[in-house]
A and B are shown apart, each in its own frame.
Chain A
Amino acid sequence: MVDRSLRVGVDIGGTFTDVALEHAGGLATAKVLTDYAEPERAILDGIARAAASAGVAVEDIGQVIHGTTLVTNALIERRGAKLAFITTEGFRDVIEMRSENRFEQYDLNLELPKPLVPRKDRFTVAERVGHDGEVLLALDPEEAEALALRIASAGYEAVAIGFLHAYANDGHEQLMEAALRRHAPDLSISLSSVVSPQMRELPRFNTVIANAYVRPQVAVYLSRLVARLRDAGIGAPVFMLHSGGGLISVETAAEQPVRLLESGPAGGAIFAADFARMHGLEKVLSFDMGGTTAKICLIEGGEPKTANTFEVARTYRFKKGSGMVVSTPVVEMVEIGAGGGSIASIDAMGRIQVGPRSAASEPGPACYQRGGEEPTVTDANLLLGRLDPDNFAGGAIPLSTASATAAVDSRLATPLDLPGGDAAFGITEMVDENMANAARVHTVENGRDIEHFTMIAFGGGAPLHACRLCEKLGIDALLVPPGAGVGSAIGFLKAPFSYEATKGLFQRLDAFDADAVNAALEALEGEATTFVKAGARDAATATRLTAFMRYSGQGWEIPVPLEHRRFTAADIAPITDAFEAAYRTLFGRTIDGLSIEITNWSLVVGSVLPPVAEVGRSPEAGTEAPWRKRSFYDAAQRKDVEAREVERSAMAPGVVVEGPAVIVEDETSTIVTAAFRAIGQSDGSLLLTRKEG
């Protein structure tokens, strides 16, 4: 019998498809290889395995929550629809001219990413809406008809429409859509005024184009998935995790697939946020490190930090500016090319550089003995005693110390005339530096002090590096939750239903038009509530309102949280106060004598999460876990140290292990440096804290 509390989360990643099944007895997980041809096959396989290990029938599953990198991959690999873009005359090349800059200052041979829609497939019509929504040049219906006819007969699979200032007046976009519908009723059409109704033509056009590009493919995939689940006896509703960290229905996802771009990583952030809430941690830095990249996210008050633009499909070594800026709600993450597979090399100055090139899983690090010859972070960890050659991935992959040594010696130590151990240390220290620097810059950009944060580390590589990162960042506490290997899938189960509706509405605060704002917010609330109710039905909901504001003349806005209410002219003063408070947090001061502007509004409607059962810190039990002797290289002390090796399963609540120690489990190892100690927690987490003094 279908059990609504029996829920399954499924995350399709580049290598693995992860499944987490929540049932009365706890949590069952499964990890299977991703099936590129038919992703749903791996999903069914994974669900069957998880259900078997939980001892439940798949037919009883009450809810399926899904996240996927399908959309991102389609953009990166350029496997999308044959697409036409229709825009305002005079603005055909917005997506090709980008921001008119070069993201790499010194590379004379720099190549900019090619636009998703080539110029020949970009069409214009004479029309123009002004910044305030006034029609400056009316769209001639005959011209729209003629273009519609031309596009209908040209064999396009999808069309994106993006007109200037359409966020302020969508009339022309609607007119163009209607004309297309008349000539091509089945064509997949996306409108910028629907997908991303915000000021700034480049991100808005990119967003509607990305949406249109992947939409046919995503629609086919999702309907096939639902059908295959039904065939397998799973009639439960399917929900998708969107980039902003909430759930939406498959129907919404099929219409606005651009909202799915970062769904997998968002699951990881929610996973960490859930542990932050359970452990009562106000300020958290989540750190997720895999084979190719590391991701960092700020979590405050149990909520991952979100943004309304981000860059997807970077083409140049994760370099900022080398991708495509889209505006859609997203959990804000910094991603850098630092993972277990990151390759170390020597630059022109004879310095060790690590990443962003990665040996990935094929050929993999040299120590995998699958043909990799270049030294990687994993090879260095092996040589420094942080990985056990006989017990990696539960013994599934034997690691060759000889191959790691050969790679590090031949590519680094010999050319640099360094002892092999120093070179290996150079690799891990350099990658730790890179990650620490990225984390520091991200907190600075958000006006925060990193010392006051607790780190939550998950993903295969993070527990190996987290303690050293904390040393570098001055962080005193680190939590390593259980189940970290399938963190995103578990995170899916913790996500609320939510939808973020946005609207560009430009006003100077001194001419604040409360009626216009109230009308816009009402529309946003109606839109968002409809989407949320589609999944959450009668669950209680809450709203979160953000105004994007700046001083007149400034180039970019800052998010200002406001209480969601009906505004009146009397609200100018409290809105000013809220802006100044947010500005001061970010920049340390306010500027006198300047007027203030609001550019965009965002309203999130979300179901209210059930309160979490707080996990109190486990008192130290005074018992000792069984251990054996092991040694590893402690970076801060610059030497090999005698350490205790402890099984993770022996870290019962209250059990303390003083660093230096290695806590081992099948999926990963947690390195406890000499400066830290680890305490087992009642939920299976490890809490690492800095030793006194």
Chain B
Amino acid sequence: MAPTSIDYQIMWNRLIAVVEEQATTLIRTAFSTSVREAGDLSAGLFDRRGRMIAQAVTGTPGHVNAMAESVTHFAREIGAQNIFEGDVFITNDPWLGTGHLHDFTVVTPVFRGGLHIGFFACTAHVVDIGGRGFGPDGNEVYEEGLLVPIMKFAERGTVSDVLLRIVRANVREPDQVVGDMYSLAACNEIGDRRLQTMLDEFGIDDLDGLSDFIIETSRKATHAAIASVPAGTYRNTMDVDGYDAPVTMAVTLTVEGDRLKADFAGTSGMSRFGVNVPEVYTRAYACYGLKCAIAPRVPNNTGSLEPFEITAPEGSILAAKRPAPVSVRHVLGHLVPDVVLGALHQAMPDTVPAEGASALWNIQISARPSDPDSGLPNREVLMFNSGGTGARPCADGLSATAFPSGVSTMSMEATEHVGPITVWRKDLREGSGGAGALRGGLGQTIEIEPRADYDFWFNAMFDRVKNAARGRAGGGPGGAGRVELADGTPLNAKGRQLVRNGKRLRLSLPGGGGYGDPKRRDRARVAADLEAGMITPEQAKVDYGYDD
């Protein structure tokens, strides 16, 4: 009996559960902190032509269509005649995977009755990939670690010993990295098992009909959503701090019927440092921002992603060319949604939020004994921290909340058990939300001191210090970020710096921009913000015109 529309709907629902289970397996077995704590991973099912059918919703929009595109690269490079049952493919090529060497993408072909019917793919961030370690200081990708080109991790069930030996010899934590490669392969296997059960249950032998149904249904829904955006050409630019030089991001959105193009012509050229973004990662975040505003409820698959045609000029900082360094491509990547949403605002007023802090303020702390001969161990501590999001047309921004990234922060008590630091402060940064009828989300203030007998190094990679998040529709800017010692000594927002014993590092994270004229803010809310200390008395008076 041929499957009906109801059958396809049920199978679609099941496939979402299958890829969620695939992702859950990875989260629970991966070693990397950013996978387990922050959900820095992706998992999905593809048909035999490499079209994505279903993808798990995880913490990282950056993987959204980066992984979706990567499977077609695998199919092309491996070649149909070389795809065998029991094979597992792998790469961490930033331009063919998800934008930097730390992400491994693993693809496993699915067979049924001896015939190749599709692929499972997944991506995760590994703890180390050799080279200089995770940071922006390399000047070419070669310095950033080992690059594994698209190749077979396993052929007909036999894992490549050569590959494992090369990886082991090139990374700082060989057990964990190789362990994660196996975890990636294992989660695809789980997906395969569940998919086969479903195909048994529905008595079908391939994914073709189902894949067409899902992709065409989603494409139609996405085109319909795009068609409701007024036609026109909309431009926006945004200046951000960058690493060694300020960066201008420029985008032109063209909406024509049910087609939408976003092009980043006019964007600054590449940096000498690892903040460059491969185009695939730019596409991922641009698409994420557009999708949130235009078609948030259509699940991710080739049908819902392809209608967003996103390009950046090769050689720009948003479409870096080999062999550019790209290690911390997430910083500028996280800022991409703000620039596209700003353009979209012109087409769809009162839909998108004001600009936010957007780029995470992640801190990698390397604690070192003040006396190298003390015998005390070195310790590494990683913290994820977020500033404020932009105010929405109908709601205040979210304070100290990640957007567009979806990561979580860790417990400070747990962090203090990991390394010899004391966190003296981690609370909302009063007055940092941009003024507006709707207020921007507040940033946060963090103060960290090395514990007795230790100093620490930290790697600053913070944006929105020189360029605050802008408000929208008359709203004011969010508070700009600040990097300093608690005694007021200024520090650089970029690069590796030392905090000696007895000193405290103070990070003031940016707030989100406001939305609408602050003078029009509901007076009761101004009063409440003032009473709660979310805004200062001076802001109440000057920005909000509140005198009571």
| Most A-side CB within 10 Å, residue of B21, B218, B417 | B417
Known: A99-B408, A105-B406, A425-B6. A351 touches B21 (CB 8 A): no
A131: which of B59, B399, B403, B417 is its contact (CB, 8 Å)?
A: B417
Q: Min CB distance, B10 to chain A, in Å? A: 6
Residue A4 at the B interface, CB < 8 A? no
Residue A239 at the B interface, CB < 8 A? no
Residue B536 at the A interface, CB < 8 A? no
| Most B-side CB within 10 Å, residue of A101, A425, A433, A592 | A101
A-chain residues with CB within 8 Å of residue B175 when the two chains form the complex: 591-594
Decide if B5 touches A418 in the complex (CB within 8 Å): yes
Residue A146 at the B interface, CB < 8 A? no
Decide if B17 touches A92 in the complex (CB within 8 Å): no
B532: which of A118, A201, A202, A592 is its contact (CB, 8 Å)?
A: A118
Closest residue to B380 on the A side, CB-wise?
A: A553
Residue A142 at the B interface, CB < 8 A? no
Decide if A348 touches B298 in the complex (CB within 8 Å): yes
Q: Min CB distance, B59 to chain A, in Å? A: 7
A201: which of B293, B412, B451 is its contact (CB, 8 Å)?
A: B412
Residue B80 at the A interface, CB < 8 A? no
B-chain residues with CB within 8 Å of residue A418 when the two chains form the complex: 5-6
Known: A588-B29, A591-B175, A592-B175. A101 touches B406 (CB 8 A): yes
Residue B520 at the A interface, CB < 8 A? no
Known: A97-B400, A105-B61, A352-B9. A200 touches B31 (CB 8 A): no
Decide if B292 touches A349 in the complex (CB within 8 Å): no
Known: A102-B401, A131-B417, A588-B186. A351 touches B12 (CB 8 A): yes
In Å, the complex CA distance between A201 and B417 comes to 13
Residue A153 at the B interface, CB < 8 A? no
In Å, the complex CA distance between A352 and B12 comes to 11
Closest residue to A434 on the B side, CB-wise?
A: B13
**Per-residue contact bits, chain A 81-96, to B (CB 8 Å; 1 contact, 0 not):** 0000000011111101
In Å, the complex CA distance between A99 and B59 comes to 13
Residue A414 at the B interface, CB < 8 A? no
Decide if A164 touches B402 in the complex (CB within 8 Å): no
In Å, the complex CA distance between A376 and B31 comes to 43
Q: Min CB distance, A377 to chain B, in Å? A: 15
In Å, the complex CA distance between A111 and B394 comes to 11
The A331-373 residues at the B interface (CB cut-off 8 A) are 347-352
The A106-140 residues at the B interface (CB cut-off 8 A) are 106-112, 118-120, 128, 130-131, 136
Decide if B417 touches A350 in the complex (CB within 8 Å): no
Segment with Cβ contacts to B, from A53-61, A438-446, A563-571:
A438-446
B-chain residues with CB within 8 Å of residue A109 when the two chains form the complex: 392, 394-395
Segment with Cβ contacts to A, from B163-171, B233-241, B425-433, B469-477:
B425-433
B-chain residues with CB within 8 Å of residue A99 when the two chains form the complex: 408-409
In Å, the complex CA distance between A223 and B14 comes to 50
Q: Min CB distance, B203 to chain A, in Å? A: 11
What is the size, in residues, of chain A's interface with B at 8 Å between Cβ atoms?
71
Decide if B413 touches A100 in the complex (CB within 8 Å): no
A119: which of B31, B291, B400, B532 is its contact (CB, 8 Å)?
A: B532
In Å, the complex CA distance between A426 and B351 comes to 34
SS class of chain A's interface: helix, strand, loop or mixed?
A: loop
Decide if B36 touches A106 in the complex (CB within 8 Å): no
Closest residue to B420 on the A side, CB-wise?
A: A131
Decide if B384 touches A100 in the complex (CB within 8 Å): yes
Residue B349 at the A interface, CB < 8 A? no
Decide if B24 touches A441 in the complex (CB within 8 Å): yes
A349: which of B29, B217, B425, B427 is its contact (CB, 8 Å)?
A: B217
A-chain residues with CB within 8 Å of residue B179 when the two chains form the complex: 589, 591
Known: A101-B402, A201-B413. A554 touches B447 (CB 8 A): no
Residue B73 at the A interface, CB < 8 A? no
Known: A93-B428, A128-B422. A100 touches B408 (CB 8 A): yes
A-chain residues with CB within 8 Å of residue B533 when the two chains form the complex: 119-120
**Per-residue contact bits, chain A 399-419, to B (CB 8 Å; 1 contact, 0 not):** 000000000000000001010
Decide if A591 touches B176 in the complex (CB within 8 Å): yes
A-chain residues with CB within 8 Å of residue B522 when the two chains form the complex: none
**Per-residue contact bits, chain B 286-317, to A (CB 8 Å; 1 contact, 0 not):** 00000111011111000000000000000000
In Å, the complex CA distance between A658 and B406 comes to 51
Q: Min CB distance, A668 to chain B, in Å? A: 25
Q: Min CB distance, A77 to chain B, in Å? A: 21
Decide if A108 touches B296 in the complex (CB within 8 Å): yes
Q: Min CB distance, A114 to chain B, in Å? A: 12
**Per-residue contact bits, chain B 343-361, to A (CB 8 Å; 1 contact, 0 not):** 0000000011100000000
Known: A102-B401, A120-B532, A130-B416. A430 touches B407 (CB 8 A): no
Residue B25 at the A interface, CB < 8 A? yes
Decide if A199 touches B417 in the complex (CB within 8 Å): yes
The B114-167 residues at the A interface (CB cut-off 8 A) are none
Size class of the contact patch on chain B:
35 or more
Closest residue to A168 on the B side, CB-wise?
A: B413
Q: Min CB distance, B93 to chain A, in Å? A: 26
Known: A348-B221, A437-B17. A444 touches B296 (CB 8 A): no
Decide if A91 touches B403 in the complex (CB within 8 Å): no
The A431-468 residues at the B interface (CB cut-off 8 A) are 433-434, 437, 440-441, 444-445
B33: which of A92, A112, A555 is its contact (CB, 8 Å)?
A: A555
Decide if A444 touches B401 in the complex (CB within 8 Å): no
Known: A101-B408, A120-B532. A444 touches B395 (CB 8 A): no
Decide if B13 touches A433 in the complex (CB within 8 Å): yes
A-chain residues with CB within 8 Å of residue B394 when the two chains form the complex: 109
**Per-residue contact bits, chain B 217-258, to A (CB 8 Å; 1 contact, 0 not):** 110010001000000000000000000000000000000000
A164: which of B33, B291, B412 is its contact (CB, 8 Å)?
A: B412
A-chain residues with CB within 8 Å of residue B384 when the two chains form the complex: 100
A586: which of B28, B399, B418, B422 is its contact (CB, 8 Å)?
A: B28
Decide if B28 touches A587 in the complex (CB within 8 Å): yes
Decide if B297 touches A422 in the complex (CB within 8 Å): no
Decide if A430 touches B417 in the complex (CB within 8 Å): no
A-chain residues with CB within 8 Å of residue B176 when the two chains form the complex: 591
Residue B534 at the A interface, CB < 8 A? yes
A101: which of B299, B407, B424 is its contact (CB, 8 Å)?
A: B407
In Å, the complex CA distance between A589 and B183 comes to 10
| Most B-side CB within 10 Å, residue of A105, A199, A599 | A105
B-chain residues with CB within 8 Å of residue A347 when the two chains form the complex: 297
Decide if B296 touches A106 in the complex (CB within 8 Å): yes
B-chain residues with CB within 8 Å of residue A105 when the two chains form the complex: 57, 61, 406
Decide if A555 touches B447 in the complex (CB within 8 Å): no
Residue A644 at the B interface, CB < 8 A? no
Closest residue to A100 on the B side, CB-wise?
A: B409
In Å, the complex CA distance between A638 and B3 comes to 11
Closest residue to B224 on the A side, CB-wise?
A: A348
A-chain residues with CB within 8 Å of residue B293 when the two chains form the complex: 108
| Most A-side CB within 10 Å, residue of B9, B353, B402, B403 | B9
Decide if B425 touches A164 in the complex (CB within 8 Å): no
Closest residue to B60 on the A side, CB-wise?
A: A105
Residue B20 at the A interface, CB < 8 A? yes
Decide if B403 touches A102 in the complex (CB within 8 Å): yes
The A577-632 residues at the B interface (CB cut-off 8 A) are 586-589, 591-594, 597, 599
21 pairs across A/B with beta carbons < 8 Å? A90-B426, A90-B427, A92-B427, A93-B400, A102-B401, A106-B291, A106-B297, A108-B292, A109-B394, A119-B428, A131-B417, A164-B412, A165-B413, A165-B416, A348-B295, A351-B217, A352-B6, A440-B17, A587-B29, A588-B29, A591-B179
5 tightest CB-CB pairs across the interface, nearest first? A90-B425, A437-B17, A119-B532, A106-B296, A555-B37
Further 8 A-B residue pairs, CB within 8 A, beyond A351-B9, A352-B9 = A97-B409, A106-B291, A108-B353, A130-B451, A426-B9, A429-B10, A433-B17, A594-B175
A residues neighboring B (CB under 8 Å): 89-94, 96-97, 99-102, 105-112, 118-120, 128, 130-131, 136, 164-165, 199-202, 347-352, 416, 418, 422, 425-426, 429-430, 433-434, 437, 440-441, 444-445, 472, 474, 506, 553-556, 586-589, 591-594, 597, 599, 638
